[in-house]
A and B are shown apart, each in its own frame.
Chain A
Amino acid sequence: MIIAVASGKGGTGKTTIATNLALSLKNVQLLDCDVEEPNSHIFIKPEIKTKVPSHIPVPEVDLGRCTFCGKCQEVCEYNAMAVLKDNVLVFSELCHGCGACSFLCPQKAIKEVKREIGVVEIGANGDLQFVHGRLNIGEAMSPPLIRAVKEYINPSKTVIIDAPPGTSCPVIESIKGSDFCILVTEPTPFGLNDLVLAVEVLRKLKIPFGVVINRSDLGNKDTYAYCKKEKIRILMEIPFKKEIAMAYSKGVPIVEELKEYKKEFTKMYEKIKS
């Protein structure tokens, strides 16, 4: 079973839920797909055994064969190529690696070369398998690296995916193919606004989901009213506790600091499975 942990709003507690759930269950693989800012490893403390550089294909033009017909520039959806007089410019940081230019070049003057965008790191802590991606600094496109992380999904395990925040392409890439999605929110106007957006995304993707309300004793009751109206299951509530915040700031998972929470996370997993 693949369980993704997502949220519309950032900073609601995705990593807290993903890592604590992973530490509460047996036979788990945790994938941190927030490749722009991975932080699950701070709590899991895995030993990284393998590092695999990740690339996207970008065009390289053989100017000897090129007739400057402009086909590549015309088919590039991202304005990553400019055909000018006797030169072709490639703006590789804009290239999404779709391959249209090289495929459609009438002169076969374009070949694909690899450009490194980040690294996938694979490791474990005990029997907890761990994979995450680190996007290179300055890189704008994370979905290809997220795909590379997800290639390591081990279907014989309970797979937990820590997704990036928001509702855009990196989130879709992270959560698609999941059997269930946990949406983490906080009961504030911002939290609710972004929860509503995330719910729309999940309904479109037809992924079953439930909500975890973090810092549940802050804010107001609007999030509860929304969930009731939309018939969305509330899987778990975590109060705003000083002990939890202190443990978090030291990189200590809740289930290690407050052992009774292990039962809560296990219960949540049982609810998801049923």
Chain B
Amino acid sequence: MKICVTAQGKTLDANVDPRFGRCQCFIIADTDTMQFEAIDNPNISSTGGAGIVSGQLIFSKAAKVVLTGNVGPNAFQTLNAAGIEVIVGVSGAVKDAIEKYKKGELKPTQNPSVDKKFGMGGN
């Protein structure tokens, strides 16, 4: 099964990026083989709707689960409508996060964890 982890770098040793829509990169990994694809997030400096368009990207990569730090309401709605499970509050190395998920230690969220524009930084 394909899983998406928001990451601060393009390897499995990189840390989980706490943002979803504006994370550094997406790691799309196969939970069985641990083979993965790392994608630089093209939406990092989007003026608006970064969570929505990142949600579409994950949908187009056929991932079934997203592991991340936080997810806003628009991203959550998009992922939800695409039938993608969302797990928030994830931190540490990407590969450890995936292992935890495989062991069933991570539970999906039923709600967005932060408000709109969270990933824009302070203003």
Contact residues of A with B, CB < 8 Å?
73, 78-80, 82-85, 87, 89, 91, 94
Indicate if the CB atoms of A78 and B48 lie closer than 8 Å. Answer: yes
- A residues in contact with B45, CB < 8 Å: none
Instruction: State in angstroms the CA–CA spacing of A176 and B48 once bound together.
Output: 25
Instruction: State in angstroms the CA–CA spacing of A102 and B57 once bound together.
Output: 23
- B residues in contact with A94, CB < 8 Å: 48-49, 52, 74
Shortest CB–CB separation between residue A247 and chain B, in angstroms?
A: 35
B53 at the interface (CB under 8 A from A): yes
Contact residues of B with A, CB < 8 Å?
43, 46-50, 52-53, 55-56, 59, 74, 77-78, 81-83
Shortest CB–CB separation between residue A270 and chain B, in angstroms?
A: 43
Given contacts A82-B55, A83-B56, A84-B59, contact A89 B49 (CB under 8 A): no
User: Can you list 13 A-B pairs with a CB-CB distance of less than 8 A?
Assistant: A78-B49, A79-B46, A79-B53, A80-B52, A82-B53, A82-B78, A83-B56, A85-B82, A85-B83, A87-B81, A89-B77, A91-B49, A94-B74
- A residues in contact with B82, CB < 8 Å: 84-85
B77: nearest chain-A partner, CB-CB: A89
Shortest CB–CB separation between residue A217 and chain B, in angstroms?
A: 34
Indicate if the CB atoms of A91 and B56 lie closer than 8 Å. Answer: no
Instruction: State in angstroms the CA–CA spacing of A89 and B80 once bound together.
Output: 11
B117: nearest chain-A partner, CB-CB: A140
B43, B50, B52, B53: residue with the most chain A Cβ atoms closer than 10 Å:
B52
The A interface, classified by DSSP as helix, strand, loop or mixed, is mixed
Indicate if the CB atoms of A89 and B48 lie closer than 8 Å. Answer: no
Shortest CB–CB separation between residue A115 and chain B, in angstroms?
A: 16
B43: nearest chain-A partner, CB-CB: A79
A80, A84, A87: residue with the most chain B Cβ atoms closer than 10 Å:
A84
Shortest CB–CB separation between residue B80 and chain A, in angstroms?
A: 9
Instruction: State in angstroms the CA–CA spacing of A233 and B82 once bound together.
Output: 59
A73: nearest chain-B partner, CB-CB: B56
B56: nearest chain-A partner, CB-CB: A82
Shortest CB–CB separation between residue A100 and chain B, in angstroms?
A: 15
Indicate if the CB atoms of B81 and A91 lie closer than 8 Å. Answer: no
